[in-house]
Chain A
Amino acid sequence: MGLKTPFHELHVDAGARMVDFGGWDMPINYGSQIEEHNAVRQDAGMFDVSHMTIVDVQGKDAKPYLRKLLANDIAKLNKPGKALYSGMLNENGGVIDDLITYFINEEFYRVVVNASTREKDLEWMQKQAQNFEVSVDHNKNYAMLAVQGPNAIEKTQAALSEQQKQAIEGLGVFFAVDTEGFFIARTGYTGEDGFEIMIPLDKVSSFWEALIKAGVQPCGLGARDTLRLEAGMNLYGQDMDENISPLEANMGWTISWEPEDRDFIGRTALTQQKAEGVKNKLAGLVLEGKGVLRPHMKVICEDGSEGEITSGTMSPTLKKSIAFARVPKTCGETVMVEMRGKQVPAKVVKACFVRKGEPLV
């Protein structure tokens, strides 16, 4: 038996098929993954993301510590609740994890890291904290639920108090607010509008049930994966890891090169990579022939150079198979993908396929 989130019984009651996910018992679907996917694109769905790790960084040096730890610059955050996506890199410029940091105040930042990387992340963050006056604490006081979709914000109201409704009124994209013990952020991993909500443990059942009553569809990890892939969002461990540079993983935009004297971990390595030029990129593929693109399939470019699919699926929105593939930068507009001994053509596109319900390819 794996680790259980506070929603475990509610999943089982809702008819979830539970699977092991990095040591956690998590719902893969509640019947049909495609219906759950479509609910998020067209209405509202909710995902248990309590397995993700909340790390509170507090102390006089919280800001300089995170400016050293992260490739993106948290000094950009100056409004309470504002969030920032960043890579946490090692000295070689490889990605230890990707994460979101919320600015609470100059001496308090809240960081959310992945589930599968919890132990190594905490260890790394503690190790780097040694030279700073800062505490790095795993906050276990919350369950977490993502409510996503065009009707997510409206339907979430049903589960909130009057005061909470007022608190989230006009909450900007990539902002969070702390209200009556809930930490509500307008963020997500689906390409749709919505919230990621940290919920006090004693409110888990009532909150879930209020959302069910409001018509929010419970969604499993299966739909979460097809949604994030369509939205062009990386999955740690699949699309990038410690041996992959953010420059080869569509994460160049998350590196703050300015100011030049900010010496974040991995900067020296990245500067060198940038000067020499990286070999690969993470491209999007749309399959033109029949079948389904899957991770690790070989990709052959027009000039004969080769790459590999990192994530692939059948897109429920486009009704075509889509993928991310790490390919040489010189790769042209079409490639062949090796599928069970056959070569099938695919079109090379920007790795973002659907946003706010609309196809981009």
Chain B
Amino acid sequence: MSDIPSELKYASSHEWARLEDDGSIVVGITDHAQGLLGDVVYVELPEIDSDIGAGDEIAVVESVKAASDIYAPISGTIIEINDTLEDAPETVNTDCYGDGWMFRIQPSNETDYQDLMDAEAYQESIADE
């Protein structure tokens, strides 16, 4: 049974999103996703200041098994990336909702975030897999 915090929003492609006080959105991958990937050995993050559209492939997580694309859950601009993952990619396995976050987006469309799934809907979506 994987951990799905109720205060976060989710994309069907297994990213989580968290609304910050300043209106920006922090993104990472879910516990379910990191479990499927296995040991993460490399994370390729997007460039700061790059403009992204919801659903774009903007990052890559490499596990010992395979490379997996990470999709932007919302549209906007990348304003921060978690560059500690360069030296410690395994943080994605050990703390996927905390220190294993990946990037922060300044959204260009406020409703994008509200349109993401809540924890219950995400739970159902992975139960169907």
Contact = CB atoms under 8 A, between A and B. Distances in A.
Which of A34, A222, A294 has the most chain B CB atoms closer than 10 A to its own CB?
A34
A340 B67 CA distance: 10
Nearest to B41: A314
A34 B39 contact: yes
Given A29-B38, A33-B38, A33-B39, A290 B64 contact: no
A38 to B, nearest CB: 11
Interface string B19-57: 000000000000000000011011010000000000000
Interface residues of B, number: 13
B64 A33 contact: yes
Interface string A125-158: 0000000000000000000000000000000000
B62 A28 contact: no
A291 B64 contact: no
Contact of B62 (A29, A34, A226, A292): A292
A334 B67 CA distance: 24
Interface string A87-115: 00000000000000000000000000000
A34 B64 contact: yes
A291 B38 contact: no
Contacts of A291: 42, 44, 62
A314 B64 contact: yes
Given A314-B62, A340-B60, A292 B39 contact: no
Which of A32, A222, A292 has the most chain B CB atoms closer than 10 A to its own CB?
A292
Given A34-B64, A222-B65, A290 B42 contact: yes
Nearest to B64: A33
Nearest to B36: A17
Contacts of B42: 290-292, 314, 321
Given A28-B38, A34-B39, A314-B42, A222 B60 contact: no
A313 interface: yes
Contacts of B64: 33-34, 222, 226, 313-314, 316
Interface of A: 28-29, 32-34, 222, 226, 290-292, 294, 313-314, 316, 321, 340
9 contacts: A29-B38, A33-B64, A34-B64, A34-B90, A222-B38, A292-B41, A292-B67, A294-B67, A314-B64
Per CB-CB distance, the 8 closest pairs between chain A and chain B, nearest first, are A314-B41, A292-B62, A34-B39, A33-B64, A33-B39, A292-B42, A33-B38, A32-B39
